[in-house]
A and B are shown apart, each in its own frame.
Chain A
Amino acid sequence: MGNFLVWVVWFLAAGACLASGVAVVSLTNPFYSALALIGNLASLAVLYLLLAAEFLAAAQVLVYAGAVMVMFLFVIAYLGGRADAPWAGGPPLLRAAAIVAAAALLVEVVVVLGLAWGDNLQDPAQVSDSFGSPAEIGELFLTDHLLAFEITSIVLLVAAVGGVVLGTTRERAESDA
């Protein structure tokens, strides 16, 4: 019974995930695209929970669906009507090439998966209840992966400085003139 329930949750989450992914790519109003991406991230968080990644599921909802998407929505609201993204335009040859390239990527991954399906994709490792808990992740970050942790902080600092520089360029140019 528990097994059946896991499958049901998995199908709902995976279906929502794929449907909202297609919606993000195909909608012409970027506001709706961003909302669909929030749904995509939330359903991915459900999949993370099924994979025993509790902390990552929480971080996904807080950081991505919360902070990052709010940033997106603010910029879309700032741009207003200029943000509209109609499908029209673009050489048809380029579109066909894009579809072929994306399909090639997909086929490649699926073939590799099919080849490996029977071998080592079956029995997952036994893990304890604390697998993926904040305590274990935090301990790993401060012991084995301390360098990655520190570099991440520098990356975020550089991005923050870059965002400020990009945002103030025009004012400086005006005051120079």
Chain B
Amino acid sequence: MSGPGIGWYLIVAAILFGVGALGVMMRRSPLIVLLSLEIMLNAGNLTLIAFARQLGDLDGQIFALAVMAVAAAEVAIGLGLIVAMARRRLVLDVDQASALRG
């Protein structure tokens, strides 16, 4: 493969994962936390696809597709929760939403 080797992709994925983790831990708006989670999932996907290319094995790409489907499901549920919180006039703050009871 001409161009950057797999290590460069892995470094980008590592930095992206760190940025996403920082967002999940520091931000308190559930919307931003969900967006940061997407960044972390995509960093994992980039790693899977980089190794699929490195090893010449498509299984990594299949796994990345499965991760994409799970991420879509997670966003649907997460946004449903946020809308439910908003409808109940709860504060949109993950630190204050500590009780699981409706």
- In the complex, residue of chain A having the shortest beta-carbon distance to the beta carbon of B64: A56
- In the complex, residue of chain A having the shortest beta-carbon distance to the beta carbon of B89: A82
- Knowing A48-B49, A89-B28, A109-B17 touch, does A158 contact B73 (C-beta < 8 A)? yes
- Knowing A137-B58, A166-B77 touch, does A121 contact B6 (C-beta < 8 A)? yes
Q: Mark A75-116, 1 if CB is under 8 A from B, else 0.
A: 110110011110001100001011101110110011001000
A117 and B9 contact, CB distance less than 8 A: no
For B54, give its contact among A72, A101, A121 (CB under 8 Å).
Answer: A121
User: Is B97 in contact with chain A by the CB < 8 A criterion?
Assistant: no
For B19, give its contact among A21, A85, A156 (CB under 8 Å).
Answer: A21
For B14, give its contact among A72, A110, A127 (CB under 8 Å).
Answer: A110
Name the A residues within 8 Å of B35 (CB-CB).
24, 30, 33-34, 37, 72
A55 and B5 contact, CB distance less than 8 A: no
Q: Mark A130-162, 1 if CB is under 8 A from B, else 0.
A: 011000110011001100100010011011101
Q: Mark B21-43, 1 if CB is under 8 A from A, else 0.
A: 11101111101101110110010
Identify 13 residue pairs between A and B in the complex whose beta-carbon atoms are under 8 Å apart, listed by A's number: A24-B32, A37-B38, A40-B42, A48-B49, A59-B68, A76-B31, A103-B18, A121-B7, A124-B6, A127-B53, A131-B58, A145-B62, A148-B66
Contact residues of B with A, CB < 8 Å?
Answer: 1-12, 14-23, 25-29, 31-32, 34-36, 38-39, 42, 45-46, 49-50, 52-59, 61-62, 64-66, 68-77, 79-84, 86-88, 92, 95, 102
